[in-house]
Amino acid sequence: MADLTDTVAGPFASLALITPMLLAAQGLAPHAESAGRIVVDVFIVLTVLLGGWLTGQWIYGPLVLDHLHPGYFLPTVAGGLLAAASAAEVGQQRLAQVMLGLGLVCWLILGSMILARLLFRPRLATPLVPTLAIEVAPAAVASLAYFAIDGDRVDAFAAGLAGYGLLMVLAQLRLLPLFRSLKFTPSTWSFTFSWAAVGAVTLHWIESGRPAGHLTYTYLVLAAVSALVGAVAVRTLIALGRRQLLPKPPPQAAGSAADN
C-alpha cells in the first residue's frame, strides 16, 4: 500500500498487471484460445480497476507537480492501449475499442501535464531521468493497438500517430548527452519497453511499404532492439550480483532490523 500511494513509485505497480495480460494475449491465446481470452479479460479488468484507483488516489493526494514523471503514462495510457491490443488479439473488438478510447483520452490529458512539467519545472531526479524514454511509447503503443483493431492497415489515423511518434523519437536525440551520463538503476528498464514498442511499429511500417531492402531493415531493427534489451538484462544481473540494484536501507532502518 505504501508503494501504491507513493507519488513517485505508485504508477510502476501497474506493470504487474499489464505484463501477464500481454503474455496471455500473445503467448497463451494462440495455443489455448478460451483460456487465453479468460486470462486476458481478468487482467484487463484488474488493469482498469488499478488505473481507476490510482487516478482517484492522485486526485485525493493531492500531487506535487515536480513528482510527475513519464511513468505516469503506465497505469491508464499504457494499460488502456495494451488492453486494447490484447482484447483485439483474442477477438474482442468492441472491448478493444473501449480500451483504445480509455488509453487515448488519458494520453491526451496526462501527456499535456507531463510535458508541461518537463518543460517548465526543474529536471527530474537522476534516478527518474531514464523514464524520459517513455515519452516515445504512447504514440507507438497507440499505433500497435490501432493496428491490432484495424487489421494492420496504415491509414490517415495511423499516419498521424506516426507523425507525433517521430517527433518524440527525434527529441530523444537531444537527450543523449544526459542519458550517457547516467548510472545504471532499475529505471533504466524504461528504455527497453519504450524502444521495443517503437521497433514493433517500425516493423509494421516496413512490412506495409516493403521498400527496397526491407528485409535488411527488418533485421537491423530486430537486432537493435534485441541488443538493447539484452544489454539492460546483462547489466541488471551484474547489479544483482554486486547488490547494487536496489537502494540500501538507511543506516537507522538497517540497525533496527539487526536489533529485531
DSSP assignment letter at 246: S
Residue with the three cell numbers 475499442: 97
Cis, peptide link before residue 138, omega less than 30° from 0: no
DSSP, collapsed to helix, strand or coil, labels residue 39 as helix
| Long-range contacts, stretch 18-22, CB < 8 angstroms, 24+ apart | 18/43, 18/47, 18/74, 18/78, 18/79, 18/82, 21/47, 21/82, 21/83, 21/86, 22/82, 22/86
pLDDT over 50 (residue 165): yes
Of the candidates 73, 22, 20, 84, which has an alpha carbon nearest to the alpha carbon of residue 51? 73
Q: Report the Cα–Cα distance between both ends of the chain, in Å, rounded.
A: 23
Confidence of residue 37 (pLDDT cuts 50, 70, 90): very high
pLDDT number for residue 260 = 47
Burial 199-208 (b: 16+ CB within 10 A, else e): bbbbbbbbee
CB 191 within 8 A of CB 225: no
Q: Identify which of 54-63, 143-152, 245-254 has the greatest average pLDDT.
A: 143-152
CB 112 within 8 A of CB 48: no
Contacts (Cβ under 8 Å, ≥6 apart) of 225? 195, 196, 199
pLDDT number for residue 253 = 46
Q: What is the pLDDT of residues 193-215, one digit of tens each?
A: 999 999 999 999 999 888 999 99
CB 143 within 8 A of CB 159: no
Q: What is the pLDDT of residues 110-135, one digit of tens each?
A: 999 999 999 999 999 999 999 999 99
CB 130 within 8 A of CB 188: yes
Confidence of residue 249 (pLDDT cuts 50, 70, 90): low
Q: How many Å apart are CA 135 and CA 133, to the nearest integer?
A: 5
Of the candidates 165, 242, 227, 238, which has an alpha carbon nearest to the alpha carbon of residue 192? 227
Cα→Cα distances 73→11, 103, 112, Å: 8, 9, 11
Q: How many Å apart are CA 43 and CA 39, to the nearest integer?
A: 6
